[in-house]
Amino acid sequence: MIKRSQKGMTMIITLIVIFVFTVLGVVIWQYGINSVKQADRSCKQKQAYFIARSGAEALSSHILKGSDTEIIKNKIDSLLNIASLPVSIEDGSCTITLSRDGSDITIESVGYFKGETSSAALEIKEIIDTGMPPYIFKNAIFATGSITLNGNVSINGSLESNDKITINGSSKPGFIENSPRAYPGIIFPQNNSTTKMEVSKNTTSYIDSDGFYDEINIDKGGILQFELTGGDLTIVANNVNVSG
């Protein structure tokens, strides 16, 4: 009886061991399958990200390859907040959207690769380029054409012109005429404003913020003062008329 019991016990233990190894094998196999799936998914997501980034960089290069500021601005404005059609890149694709927040332009691209998606964003900073370094002017007035002063004109600074300078009044500013100096051209931002500013006779008006104007008219004795306590101002006007 004891021997039979021992044999039966041995068989049960053997079956239990086989069952444990079978379960362990299934667990390991399942873990291996999940690890392979996770690695495959991670690889696809990375590929989707690289596709998204490639799309964003391609659009950025396309926008910035031009040298004309106005053309670049118009191109950006025409693409704002409009999702592109899917663009094929290798075995995947991407869609691209352009958005603006003030001077910050964001290119957001979503990449797709074999069922996985990933996104990438690229930011462009828009800066108004005047076409010249700061503090390049050395005169109160510079002109490519002739300058003529009549009457009692007060100028704090010197005059310079590529042409002739004629002073008929009592003013005696320093001046250089027929100057060979050449300044680079200025790139003016587009101005569609219809705002008109009037500075009445013998009054003082102030501008303390950036602005666009169609006309600024300053009557005789009027003073237009720019408040620069908060930093530089950008003022764009199609016409500035000063009466004296």
- What does the pLDDT look like over 146-173, one tens digit per residue? 888 777 767 777 888 888 888 887 777 7
Contact between residue 130 and residue 111 where contact means Cβ atoms under 8 Å apart: no
pLDDT over threshold 80, residue 183: no
Confidence grade of residue 36 (pLDDT, cut at 50, 70, 90): low
Question: How confident is the model at residue 199, as a pLDDT?
Answer: 92
Tell me what pLDDT residue 60 has.
Answer: 81
Instruction: Kindly report, residue by residue over 192-231, the tens digit of the pLDDT.
Output: 899 999 999 889 999 999 999 999 999 888 899 988 887 8
Residue 18, pLDDT score = 61
State which of 3-12, 20-29, 146-155 shows the largest mean pLDDT. 146-155
Tell me the pLDDT tens digit for each residue of 232-241. 888 888 888 8
What does R_g of the chain's alpha carbons equal in angstroms?
A: 37
pLDDT tens, residue by residue, 58-117: 888 877 776 556 667 777 777 788 888 888 887 888 888 888 887 788 888 898 988 888
Q: What is the mean pLDDT of the chain?
A: 76
Cα–Cα distances (Å) from 155 to 97, 138, 139, 172, in that order, read 52, 14, 10, 9
What burial class does residue 175 get, using C-beta atoms within 10 Å of its C-beta: 0-12 exposed, 13-18 middle, 19+ buried? buried
The pLDDT of residue 52 is above 80: yes
